[in-house]
Amino acid sequence: MRPRSYLYPQLAAILLFSVLCTEIGDTWVVIVCTSRYWFNYRHLANALAIYKEVRAQGISDERILLMSALEAAMDPRNPFPGEIYSTNSAKNMINARKIARNNANFQKNSSIIDGDVVNDLGLHSFHMPGDVIVDYSGNDCNVDAFLRLLTGRHPYGTALSQQLRSGPNSRVLLYMTGHGGNEFLKFHDKEEMSAADLAISLRQMWLQRRYKELLLIVDTCQASTLGAHLDSVPAITFISSSALGENSFAYDTNHELGLAVVDRFTYKLQNFMEKSRQSSVQRRGIRAAPVAASVHELVQFMRQPTQRAFLHSTVGVQQSTGARALTRMNLADFFGAAAADENVPPTPAYDGSECSLKEKTMSKQYCGSAECSHALPTNRFGEYSSSFDSYVSGNLLAL
């Protein structure tokens, strides 16, 4: 018996969805600078250093979501309008300015992809706008926007370029920097995102099949406390710059700017990535080789006595159920573009409105019953969420 004609559109929609969610891997990056005000210049430089690293390894801007509450590039106190420097000394900055005046090709050579300025001057420069595309800036970078970005529940009319369109086979790198404390991270120095809010949002990402693996890196004071509730979130690897009661310290105070230009943890992370990539280039004999080091090697490097003395803090690592062993997890899996990235069709993000049945099926698959046994935490007020629209699908989230 032939199916009725009114079923054809539904069958076509199911077929299209299955094609879009084929087993193709891809990499997405979310970079967040939560601080504002000029004296937090280094936090924006931290974020741009990671941005430069992932761009250098082939990830396109279409797959990078950059959020920055700080707009230091155009601050009237910036002696280099439109530019951000993440290292080094005032002497290098002055040399760079002289080259800029005398060399017409300086703007081209200072591209974050080519990295010529980095090699010649030991200096990382970013021209804004131009080299960097910021998706959420100023007041648009807030707790609500960040949690909506993770969960895919954007206000109507949000541009696709401002959405994390990852899928069930995506590897996601989430880097965050700013001011924090015991189980919270500050946005704009006036609102906070709790560790429970972060865990709930990442848990929803997993249930909505928005990632396969997620690497979370946080550079802030008492950063490890943001992972207090991540045990309930599968396939998470969390690297923190400091432990409970420790601070994340600044580095390289610049007298030309009158403040520090980078944090110590991000500075060492950036150096490790660059040296690993250079050794890979020398070994393979090609110009643009990916980082060959594993996450395990990065953590071991950060925990060396000399590095710990430099950082003045303890680098932590935490993994949840389903995460790969650190020795088998290459940094290039998250900082570099997957081989099939250019051919990946756009993945439709779940809006949470019609996926109760799918999520219950996933809950049964990963938790062993139709009702999820992983009890999600509440925030410090005893509520499910204080920063975005609460979402509970049936008995899925056992609170």
pLDDT computed for residue 282 by the predictor: 56
Beta carbons of 177 and 263 less than 8 angstroms apart: yes
Half-sphere exposure at residue 77, Cβ-oriented, CA atoms within 13 angstroms = 12
**Does the residue 34 lie in any domain?**
yes
**Does the residue 244 lie in any domain?**
yes
**Does the residue 232 lie in any domain?**
yes
**Does the residue 12 lie in any domain?**
no
State the CATH number of the domain containing residue 28: 3.40.50.1460
pLDDT computed for residue 396 by the predictor: 33
pLDDT computed for residue 283 by the predictor: 57
pLDDT computed for residue 18 by the predictor: 39
Catalytic choice (33, 43, 141, 221): 221
pLDDT computed for residue 346 by the predictor: 43
**Does the residue 301 lie in any domain?**
yes
- Give the tens place of pLDDT for each residue, 320-349: 999 999 999 999 999 987 544 444 434 344
Q: Determine how many CB atoms are found less than 10 A away from the CB of residue 399.
A: 11
pLDDT computed for residue 231 by the predictor: 92
pLDDT computed for residue 103 by the predictor: 56
Q: How far is CA 310 from CA 23, 197, 217, 306, 327, in A?
A: 43, 32, 19, 6, 25
**Does the residue 386 lie in any domain?**
no
If one counts the domains in the chain, the total is 1
Rounded to the nearest angstrom, the gap between the alpha carbon of residue 324 and the centroid of all alpha carbons in its chain is 19
- Give me the residues of the chain with pLDDT under 70, please: 1-25, 87-130, 280-291, 338-399
**Does the residue 161 lie in any domain?**
yes
pLDDT computed for residue 393 by the predictor: 34
Asked about 372 being catalytic, the answer comes back as: no
Asked about 141 being catalytic, the answer comes back as: no
**Does the residue 15 lie in any domain?**
no
The residue segments making up the domain with residue 330 are 23-340+349-354
Q: Token digits for 111?
A: 């591209």
Q: How far is CA 60 from CA 10, 53, 160, 286, in A?
A: 34, 12, 15, 20
Catalytic choice (21, 127, 154, 179): 179
- What DSSP letter does each residue of 321-339 carry, written as one string? TTPPPGGG-BTHHHHS--T
